[in-house]
Structure 1
Amino acid sequence: MSMTRVHADQVFTGGARAGQVRTPGATRSAVVRLARPKQARAKGSDVLAVCIFVTAVTIGLWLQHGGFSALIGGGSGTVRAIGQLSGLAAALGALGAIILTARPVFLERRYGLDQLLAAHRWFGISTVLLVVVHAVAATAAWAAMSGMTFVGALGDMLANESWMVAALASTVIFVTIGLSSWRRIKNAISYETWYFLHLTAYLAVLLGFGHQLTLGSDFTRDRVAMWWWTGLAVATLAVVMWSRVGVVATSLRRRLYVSAVSREAQGVGSLHINGPSLRRMRVAGGQFFIVRPLAKGLWWQAHPFSVSAAPTTGGLRFTIKELGDDTPNLLKVKPGTRVLLEGPYGVFTVEKAAGSRVVLVAGGVGIAPIRAILEDCHPSQRPIVIVRVRNERDLPHRTELEGLVKSRDGELIVLTGPREWFAARDPFSPDGLAAIIPGIEGRHAFICGPASLESAVIKGLRKAGMPTSNIHLERFGV
C-alpha cells in the first residue's frame, strides 16, 4: 500500500489559483458561480399524509363494499376478497411506481434520485407479486363459485369477459418486467432492452385499468369508487406529463453544446458543456445530470454524470471514465455538438453537513462529485479528502485537488496500489480511519466509488464512531 498525504500548509504549485478551475473557452471576467438549487418545498410529513389518505380512502371503499366480511367469511368469498384486496394494492403500487420513476422535482429535491429509484424498485417488485396473487385468487374464486377447474375457469373468464384478455396481457407484461429486473437476467441483457421492457409498464397499467373499471365489482356498482380511481389515474398522468414531458422541453430550450473535450488521466476524460442559457440554471456541486449528446449513434443513449467542478457561467464539466462501448465515444464528440441535459438531480451536496467538518472519500472516477463538493466546502469544515486509485496515473484533477485542499485548510490522502496490498493494513478499518481522520465522530462523510469501497468505508466509519445519519452517498440506477 502506498499513501501520499498533502496538507494545507504545503506549497501549491498548480497552474491555477488555489481553488479555481478554468473551463476551456471561459473568460476570467465573465465567470460567475451558478445559483444553488432551491430547497425542497415538500416535507416528509406531507408525502406521508398523502400516502395515508390515498390508502385510507381506498381501503374505506373496499370495506364499504363488504370486503372485510367476505375476507373473514371463509370459502370462496375469502379467496375472492383476497383477489380484490391484492388487486387494489397492485393498482396503487403501479401508480406509485410510475410517479416515482417520473422523478417529480418536489420529491427528488427532498429525497434524491437514488432514493426515489430505490423506492420505485420496491414498489415495482411488490406490484408484480400482488398482480400474481390477484390473478391466481380471482381465478380460484371463479373456479370455486362455478364448479370448474382452475384452467377451465381461466378459459371461461377469457371467453366471456371482454376485458379479461387485456387483464391477462397486463399480467404477462408485469411478470416479464419483474423477471427482467432479476439481477442475473438484467446482467445478461443490454440496458436498452431492459429500459424498453420497462416502458411497456405504461401499457400494462392502461390494460389493467380498463379491466379494473369494467369488471371490478367495487367499481361497476359504485360511481364514487369509479371516480376515485379515475382521479388517481388522471393525477398520475399529470405528474408524468409535467415531470417527463416538461423535462424534455426544458432540455431542448437550454441550447447547450460541447465546448471542449479534455484528457484528465489514464482512461479518463472530461466533457465541457456551455451555452447561452447556462446562467439561468441552478446547480450545486455533487449533483448530476442525465447527459445525451445529439450526435450520430449517441442521441438515443442517456448517461448519468456528476459535475466535477463548481458549476459556473463558464461551463459545466463532467469527468468520465472510459468503460464499455459507449463512454469512449462520448469523449470523441466534437466541440459544438448539441447536448441535452436532464437535471440537475441529487441531494449529495455539502448542505448535508450543515457546516460541520467533513471527510470526502472517492474511488476512481468517483472523484468527480467529490471534487465538486470539495470546492463548495468552507475552510472551517477542514475537509479531509481520501482517494483510492490503483496508481497515480489513474487520479484525475490532482493539481486542482491539492489547490482546493490548501485553500480550505484541509488534507489530501491518496491511497495507491493493487487491492492485495491492502490486505495486511486496511486503511478503511475503524483503527485505520480513526488514525487519519481527527474528530471522526463529529464529521460528516461523503462517499462515492465502487460498491465494495462504499461498503468498506461505511462499515469502518460506523465502527469508528461516526453516526449513520452523518454518512452520505449517492447511487444511480434502479
Structure 2
Amino acid sequence: MAIIDAPPAPAPTGYRPAAPRSRTALWNAGATAVIWLSSLFVAALWVAGGGITDLLAGNAESLTTLGRLTGLVASNLLLYQVLLMARVPLFERGFGRDAITRMHRFVGFWSFWLMLAHIALLVAGYAASAGINPLVQLWDFIWNYPGMLLATAATLLLILVVVTSIRRARRRLRYESWHLLHLYAYLGVGLALPHQLWTGADFLSSPAATLYWWSAWAAAAAAVIVFRIVTPLWRSWRHGIRVTGVVADGARGVTVRMTGRALHRLHARPGQFFVWRFLDGAGWTRGHPFSLSAAPTANGLTISARFAGDGTERLARLRPGTRVLVEGPYGHLTGGARTGSKLLMIGAGAGVAPLMSILEGEPWAAGDAILITRDTTAADGLRQAEIADLVRTRGLSHIALPGPRATGGSPWIPASHQAWTGADVIRHLTGGVAPFDAYVCGPIPWMDAVVADLRAAGFPPARIHTEAFTV
C-alpha cells in the first residue's frame, strides 16, 4: 500500500463523461414500457379470442385455451430473447449488459418451459376433444399440420441450446463450442416462425394480431442484421482499428494495444467492453467480450486478458497490423454510476482490467481510491506496472491479496486472511463506507461473495457496482 500527495490526473484525451443519470432513467423507462406494453397486448389477444370463456368451460377447451396462452407468451418471450441479444441501443442503455445477461437467461428458460407446456396442453386438449390417444394426436400434429415439421426441428434445436446452457453443462464446454451451439437458437427461432404465422389462430385472429406479429418479428430480424452485422462492420471500417502491440501481462495473461482513426467517436467509456474479432485467420468469426484495461483515447484502445481458452490464447499470437472488428462499446460499469467521492475497487484475475480503466479515467484525490486485487499467485497479477504507476503518481492505495482462497464464510479473501470476515476487511480498509462507491469485477460466484460482504459492511446497494458477461 502506498499513499502520496499527488493531484488527480486529468481525464485522458478522447474520454467522454458518462451520461447523466436522468438520461439513463429515461432509457430504462422506455425499454421497460416496450416490454410491458407488448406483453399486455399479447394477453389482450388471448382475451379477445375468447380465452377466459374457454378457460372457465372446464373441459377439453380449457386445456386448449391454456395451450394457446402458453404458446402466445412463449412466442413473445422468444421475441424478447432475440431482441435482448441483438445489441439494440434501447435495451443496452436502458438495462445495461449485466441486467440483459440475467434477463436473457431468465427469459430463455421460461420461453422454453412455456413452449413445452404449449405442446403438451394442445396435444392433451385436441386428444380429449377427438377421443384419441395423445401420442396419436401428437403424430397427427407433426405430419398433417402446416409448418409442424419445421416446428419440431425448431423444438429439438432449442432443447439442445437449453441443455448446453445449464450451468453445469456450460462449465464443461469450451467457450468456442458453447458459442457455436448457442447460435443454433437463431435457426430454431427461424424454423418455428412458419408454424406460428401459418396455423396459429391467435397470430392471425385479427388484422391487429397479424400486424403485431409480422411487424415484431420483422423488427427483430432487422435489429439482428443492423446492430449485430451492419453497424459493427461500418464502425470497424470507419475507424480502421489495427493491432499495434502485444505484450505478456503477468504469468498467464496478455495485453493487446490497438490504434485507429478518430476512436473518440466510438464514445467508449473507461470500464466498458467490446466484442472483439481479430482477422488473423481461421476462427476469426467468433467474437469475445474483453473489457478495456486502460482509459480509451482518441487513437488508442487497450485490452488485457487471462489465458482461459482458445480465444484468449490466440491473443498472444496476434501480429502488429492485424485488422480488428468490434461490436460496442457495451456495459454500465463506468464512472457514471458513482455518487461518492472515493473509490473502492475489488477485482479478481482479469476482472482487474476494467477497474484499472476506470481508475485511469476517473478524477480522484490522492488516498481516495483503493484497489484490492485477488490472484492465485502474485505472479498472475495483470496490469502490475500500470498499478504501480498509479500508486506512484496519483496516490492509489493497492492491496494485493494473492494465494488460495479461504474456506470459511468469505471465500473471496485468501486463506492467509480467513481469520477475518470479508466485511471486517472492508471496514478496516475503508474506515467508513459513506464516501465510497464499490466496483467489483471477477467470476460470478466470487462477485456474489464480495457483494454479500460489502452489504454486511454497510454499503447500500446503490453504491455497489458490478457487471457480468456470462450467460
Fold similarity call, TM over 0.5: yes
1: CA distance between counterparts of 2:303 and 2:88?
24
Specify which of 452, 459, 468 is matched with residue 459 of structure 1. 452
Q: Is there any run of 5+ residues in structure 1 with no aligned partner, and where?
A: 22-30
The residue aligned with 1:352 is 337
- Say whether residues 1:76 and 2:69 are aligned partners: no
The yes-or-no answer on 1:309 pairing with 2:290 is: no
Match of 1:234 in 2: 218
The CA deviation at 1:383 is 0.9
Tell me, yes or no, if the aligned pair for 2:441 and 2:467 is still in contact at 8 Å: yes
Task: State the 1:378 CA deviation.
Answer: 1.8
Q: What are the equivalent positions in structure 2 for 1:63-102 lying under 5 Å apart?
A: 63-102=47-86
Q: Mean alpha-carbon deviation: is it higher for 202-211 or for 75-84?
A: 202-211
Please report how far the alpha carbon of residue 351 of structure 1 lies from its aligned counterpart in structure 2 after TM superposition: 1.4
What pairs up with 1:264-283 in 2 under 5 angstroms?
264-283=249-268
1:382 aligns with 2:375: no
Cα contact 1:278–1:315 (8 A) shared by 2: yes
> Where in structure 2 are the equivalents of 1:33-182 lying within 5 Å?
33-36=14-17, 42-182=26-166
8 Å CA contact retained: 1:36, 1:282: no
Which secondary structure does the structure 1 equivalent of 2:2 belong to?
strand
Q: Secondary structure of 1:416's partner?
A: coil
Partner residue, 1:28 = none
Given that 1:102 and 1:239 are in contact with CA atoms closer than 8 Å, whether structure 2 keeps it comes out as yes
TM superposition shift of 1:201 = 2.3
- The one-letter amino acid of 2:134's match is F
Superposed CA deviations along residues 114-156 of structure 1, whole A, max 9, x for unmatched, are: 2212111111101110110001111111111111100111122
Provide the secondary structure at the position in 2 that maps to 1:417: coil
Cα distance in 2, alignment partners of residues 220 and 298 from structure 1: 42
**Structure 1 residues 71 and 415, CA gap change in structure 2 (3 angstroms):** same
- Please say if residues 405 and 411 of structure 1, whose CA atoms lie closer than 8 Å, have aligned partners that are also in contact: yes
Q: Secondary structure at the residue paired with 1:317? A: strand
Determine if contact 1:426/1:432 at 8 Å carries over to the other structure. no
- Change in CA separation of 1:35 and 1:167 when aligned onto 2, cut-off 3 Å: same
Q: C-alpha distance in 2, partners of 1:227/1:326?
A: 42
Deviates more, 1:40-49 or 1:417-426: 417-426
Aligned AA for 2:351?
G
Structure 2 CA distance for aligned equivalents of residues 303 and 159 of structure 1: 41
**Which ranges of structure 2 fall in alignment gaps of 5 or more residues?**
407-413
Per the TM alignment, residue 307 of structure 1 is displaced from its structure 2 partner at its CA by: 1.1
- In 2, Cα distance between equivalents of 1:399 and 1:267: 15
Alignment of 1:213-232 (within 5 A): 213-232=197-216
Aligned to 1:7: 3
The one-letter code matched in structure 2 to 1:150 is P
Identity among equivalent positions (%) equals 32
Instruction: Label 1:388 to 1:424 Cα distance change in 2 as closer, same or farther (>3 A).
Output: closer
CA deviation digits over 1:201-237, x for unaligned, max 9?
Answer: 2332233222122222234443332222112212222
Paired with 1:197 and 1:425, the residues of 2 have a C-alpha distance of 41
Distance 1:427 1:109 in 2: 39
Q: For the residues of structure 2 that align with 1:72 and 1:426, how far apart are their CA atoms?
A: 62
TM (normalized to structure 1)?
Answer: 0.89
CA distance 1:405–1:111, shift in 2 (3 Å): farther
Structure 1: distance between partners of 2:345 and 2:276: 25
Alpha-carbon spacing, 1:427–1:379, altered in 2? closer, same or farther (3 Å)? farther
Moved more, 46-55 or 68-77: 46-55
Sort the Cα spacing of 1:301 and 1:52 in 2 relative to 1 into closer, same or farther, 3 A: closer
Contact 1:257 1:338 in 2 (8 A): yes
Q: Say if 2:273 is the partner of 1:284.
A: no
What is the one-letter code of the residue matched to 2:426? L
For residues 299-322 of structure 1, the C-alpha deviation after alignment (integer angstroms, 9 at most, x for no partner) is 133221111111113411111222
Q: CA 1:326–1:20 in 2, change beyond 3 Å: closer, same or farther? A: farther
Quote how far apart the aligned CAs of 1:242 are: 2.3
Q: When the two structures are aligned, how many residues end up with a matched partner?
A: 459
Over residues 344-366 of structure 1, what are the superposed CA-to-partner deviations in whole Å (9 max), with x where a residue is unaligned? 11110111113532201112232
Deviations 1:274-303 (A, max 9, x none): 122424321111111111110023413322
Match of 2:353 among 365, 368, 379: 368
Residue number in structure 1 paired with 2:465: 472
Q: Aligned partners of 1:315, 1:19: CA distance in 2, in Å?
A: 18
**CA shift at 1:324, angstroms?**
2.8
Looking at structure 1, the residues matched to 317 and 468 of structure 2 have their Cα atoms a distance apart, in angstroms, of 26
2:379 equivalent among 393, 408, 418: 393
Is the contact between residue 342 and residue 364 of structure 2 (CA under 8 Å) also seen in structure 1? no
Q: Separation in 1 of the partners of 2:338 and 2:31?
A: 24
* 1:24 aligned partner: none
Contact 2:340 2:435 in 1 (8 A): no
Q: CA deviation at 1:406?
A: 4.9
Counterparts in 2 of 1:18 and 1:156: CA distance versus 1, 3 Å: closer
- Matched AA of 2:422: S
The CA RMSD measured in Å over matched residues stands at 2.5
SS of residue in 1 equivalent to 2:125: helix
